[in-house]
Structures are given as structure tokens and as C-alpha cells.
Structure 1
Amino acid sequence: MDKPHIILNIPEGFPEIAIEKITEDITDEKLLLKVNKVPTQPLASIEWAIPGLIAIFIAQSYFGGFLSELGKDHYDVLKKWIKENAIRSRTIKVKTLTASRSVEKIDKSNTQSKAFSLHFNTVDGKNIKLLFDLTLEDEVWENSIEKFMDLIRENYTNFPNDILSSKLNDLENGKSNIYGIINPDTKEWEFFDIIKMARRQYEIRKKDR
């Protein structure tokens, strides 16, 4: 079986009609879209490392196969689809559970959406998770998606001399998962490996005390 171009993770309890509504605008006869219904169960991990309630994964096969050979007109459709689902996700309320009843275990400094996340594979196999700050406006989210899509497309057409690769090469642990955060001041993407991400959250928590 061929590898999917796009994977959509969605909560197990979502009704079929809602799933059809989400996927109808992205459908193409040559596009391999896989929908995973994920059980709503506690996950033992750091909040920002867990995929969003609705998580979209754009695989290498989309840019390396589908887009380059079959679906060049599909690119703008994909960008619009991602933006719409990102903005819709803002109405979803997600409750964070902890291992104990202590609310102090919840990282209140984390303003990134738990309802939506966007995931990409670079041409050289790096995993990037994009996070979306709920304190930023819809327009910022949409513009940021547009900017990253241009970066990842260039990554597949101009690697290793592309802008995204130059940004990621500075990460010491860049072979592991990479996290993209929208800088609230510049509105530009900043990228962190797991160690730098942990340091970032630590510094934010210190300021909030």
C-alpha cells in the first residue's frame, strides 16, 4: 500500500458527518488521505510535545510525490484547508489532565493551542511540529501558515540551500523533533529542539511567577 500524503488525526468520538466536512475540501482522486480516529485518553508527556486534538501531518510523499508529479494546483487548496481548520479549532475547548489532582502541575504559561497542531517532514527527514499561540489573532495564524508553507516548499525544491534548512542547522538536537513557535513580537517562526524548547518554557514560567 502506498504511503499517505496527508494524515489527519481526529478524536475517536467525532461523528462521521463532521469528519466528512473537514476532509471534503482537500479531497482529490490522486491524493492519499488517511484519517486516524485517536482514542481520547491521557498521554504521559509534556503538553507541547503532544499532538493537538486535531493534528494534520503533511508527509514527505506530498511534496516529493503528489505535488511535484500530480497535484501542483493542489498546493493553494492545501494552504486554504489548513488555515480554515486552524481557525475552526479555536472554538474547541481542551482540558488538561494531570497525574494527580494538583492544578499546580498544569503549565499555565503554555498558551499554545492544545486543539490544533500542524506537522511536517522536511526533505531530509526532520520532524517539525508547528504550535499556534491562542493569544495571537486569526490573521497572524493565517499569515504564519502561509509563510511556513513557502519555507517547506522551498525546502523540497532547493535543499540544502533553502532558508528553512539554514534555520534548522543551528539546532544542536535538530535530528530529533523540532518545534515551531510564532514569535509574538516579530510574528515570524522560531524553531526549537527539545532542549531549547524546555529552556524557553522554563524562562517563561520564571517571568510569570
Structure 2
Amino acid sequence: MIHKLDSIDHEKIDFSKQDIALIYNEKLPSLLADDFEKHLQDSELDILIYKQQEKGPYAGIEWLMPSLISVIILQPYLKSFFSEMGKDHYYLLKNGINSLGKKIIGKNKIVNIQTYTGTDSPKKVRKKYSNHFSILYEVQPKVHFKFIFPSEINFKDFQIANEVISKYIESCLMNETRVLDVIKQNGNIMYSGKLIMTYDFKKKEVIVLNPFSKEDEDC
């Protein structure tokens, strides 16, 4: 079932009753949300599509380093996401995420998302990581691994990163100790139950970013 809410309804949001959520900035064309919805409308999942006011109250799950578009895969649904029963949903969601990426990333994008962000600040232009799009996985109740992507990523690399990230999350779900270790090792940079992460193309691995350090200050 698809649930649609605007910012004026933000107090009504109950993420515990959702399987997947899409949060997007109100300035973005609705076709982005419409296309994502189209890919998942026959999935029988509980899906929240939330239009976020640019200067309004953020949904609590996404107020730290908010992205213009965020896809969130929630507990307890995530636990079954990679199971044999959830494989069909996995492919539907992957296609939905890729359809979003194709519209906003690379040379053939149809939405110049940069138009919807402020570019007056030089620091914003120099950002190593983009605030355009993120994917959040609720690996434990109210604990999220939030994945962001390099500013200059192309669509092909986005697909590669998305695939590696999915396999990483699957491995975490199959070994809860791994999740606990990641949280324990990075607890000092976890904020509001979130770790900021990315796929490092040079290291060819998933890494945790520290949004509070000078080294990663442009993320």
C-alpha cells in the first residue's frame, strides 16, 4: 500500500509501520516519486512517499545531513529483504532506485538536480560527496547505515556502488556480529542513530565517513 504525506503531516509519520520510505524535496519534480512508485506499486509493501518542504520540519529519520532524495529500507522488513521470499521485492526496489539514479545522475539525466541546490557557497561546489541522493538501511531498530555518493559519480558507477552496498548489507544481516562491530568501532561518530557511509572506488570497499572531522568535512 502506498501512503503519501506532505510536510504538514510530518507528525503523523510512523516509520515502524512502513517497509520502505521515499523522502524528497518539494522543489523536485513529482515524476521522480511517481516513477519510483510505479516500480513498487504491485509489491504489496507498505511504502511511504513523503514530500519534504525545503525549509520545513524534516522527518526525524532524515534530519541529519538531509538529502534531496532519500530511500529508506526499514525494520523489520529489511530482515527478510534478502531472503528467498524477499528476492522479488529486492529486484523491484533495485530497479526503482536505479530509475531514480538514471534521472538525476550522469550525462543522460533528465532532471538537473543541481538546479534545486544552492551554489552560491564555494564549499558546496567543492563537496566531495553529494547531498542529492542517499539510501538508508535500518540495520537495527532506529539504527541506520546511510549511504551517500561522490558528487561526480556517473550512472554506471552508481549502479556498481548500489550493487556492492546491497551485498554489504546482506552480509551484515547474515552476521549480526558484523553490524555490532561496525557500530562499536564507530560509535563516536554515530549521530541520531546514523552512520554515514559510502562505497570507496579506490579501496573497492564500503567505508564509514566522519562528517565531523576536517578530513571528511566536505561530505
Query: What are the residue-to-residue correspondences of 1:126-145 with 2, within 5 Å?
Result: 126-145=143-162
- The worse-fitting range, judged by mean Cα deviation, of 133-142 and 48-57 is 48-57
For residue 92 of structure 1, the aligned residue among 89, 105, 113 is 113
Pick closer, same or farther for the CA change 1:31–1:43 going to 2, 3 Å: closer
Query: How far, CA to CA, are the matches of 2:205 and 2:22 in structure 1?
Result: 26
Measure how far apart 1:27 and its partner are: 2.1
Deviations 1:131-169 (CA, angstroms, capped at 9, x unpaired): 111223322211111111112122223212x4x554444
Which ranges in structure 2 are unaligned for 5 or more consecutive residues? Answer: 1-13, 106-111
Which ranges in structure 1 are unaligned for 5 or more consecutive residues? Answer: none
Aligned residues of 1:55 and 1:116 also touching (Cα < 8 A): yes
Q: Which amino acid aligns with 2:163?
A: E
1:37 counterpart SS class: strand
Root mean square deviation of aligned Cα: 3.3
Pick closer, same or farther for the CA change 1:110–1:14 going to 2, 3 Å: closer
Deviations 1:92-135 (CA, angstroms, capped at 9, x unpaired): 123227xxxx835x444313222211111113642221111122
Query: How far, CA to CA, are the matches of 1:84 and 1:186 in structure 2?
Result: 27
Query: How far, CA to CA, are the matches of 2:47 and 2:130 in structure 1?
Result: 24
- Aligned residue in 2 for 1:103: 121
Query: How far, CA to CA, are the matches of 2:32 and 2:199 in structure 1?
Result: 29
- Aligned residue in 1 for 2:76: 61
1:116 aligns with 2:133: yes
Identity of aligned residues (%): 20
Query: How far, CA to CA, are the matches of 1:135 and 1:43 in structure 2?
Result: 29
Query: What are the residue-to-residue correspondences of 1:6-21 with 2, within 5 Å?
Result: 6-13=20-27, 19-21=33-35
1:33 aligns with 2:64: no
TM-score (norm: length of structure 2): 0.71
The count of corresponding residues between Structure 1 and Structure 2 is: 192
Aligned residues of 1:113 and 1:131 also touching (Cα < 8 A): yes
2:127 counterpart SS class: coil
1:71 aligns with 2:86: yes
Aligned residues of 1:5 and 1:66 also touching (Cα < 8 A): no
Measure how far apart 1:14 and its partner are: 5.3
Pick closer, same or farther for the CA change 1:18–1:122 going to 2, 3 Å: closer
1:28 counterpart SS class: coil
